[in-house]
Copies of this chain bind each other. A is one copy, B any other.
């Protein structure tokens, strides 16, 4: 926030980092692979996670998934994940625009870690704030959709820079809107080597490739 003392911000980031490291150690001690799904509002994060839960058993039978869902308010996404019969914890941040490691630490108390192999965390829909708050996951993934325009990466480079993979969703709508995926890809290339998945989550297109990447250590 504007005018917050810079040293205070640094304290917050440092504390988050310490807790995040503890989370990573804890998850690794349980052999859990974990993913932070960041991304724009309405970009399709929940639906992508739903598909991953459904098709993961196809390639890794008996693999167990746990999910932590972050939302400012309500439990819409939580209810959607519940239908897939996996353990899920809902975090309401109230007015906060991102999850942080401290919130995840609390959420983990509510999960039986010995019964989870993969942990998916759905962050708050926002391309700015979550960047500064790593959650201790193995990988960070950012989702955007083509319907938001082709300038999303250029306008929010930090979060894409910090991501291990980038999902460009709703590509089935490219033909009906005036968006150039090449522009997005060009902006991504400027950030360095990035793994990119083009998906249409409604049609399940691209989800299998994403899953293959997720399960590859």
Contact = CB atoms under 8 A, between A and B. Distances in A.
Contacts of A93: 2
Interface size class of A (residues with CB under 8 A): 35 or more
B173 A128 contact: no
A114 to B, nearest CB: 28
Contacts of A152: 41-42
Considering residues A4, A93, A157, which has the most beta carbons from chain B within 10 angstroms of its beta carbon? Answer: A4
A177 B145 CA distance: 13
B154 A102 contact: no
Contacts of A43: 148
Nearest to A103: B2
A124 B152 CA distance: 12
Interface string A109-129: 000000000000000111111
A132 interface: yes
Interface of A: 1-4, 8-9, 12, 15, 40-43, 71-74, 76, 93, 95-97, 100, 102-103, 124-129, 131-132, 145, 147-149, 151-152, 154-158, 170, 173, 176-178, 202
Please list the 9 inter-chain residue pairs (A to B) with the smallest Cβ-Cβ separation, ordered nearest first.
A42-B148, A147-B147, A97-B128, A42-B149, A2-B100, A40-B41, A97-B129, A76-B151, A176-B176
Given A73-B155, A74-B154, 16 more contacts: A1-B9, A1-B12, A2-B96, A2-B102, A3-B12, A40-B40, A40-B42, A41-B156, A72-B128, A72-B156, A72-B158, A73-B157, A126-B128, A129-B129, A147-B148, A176-B176
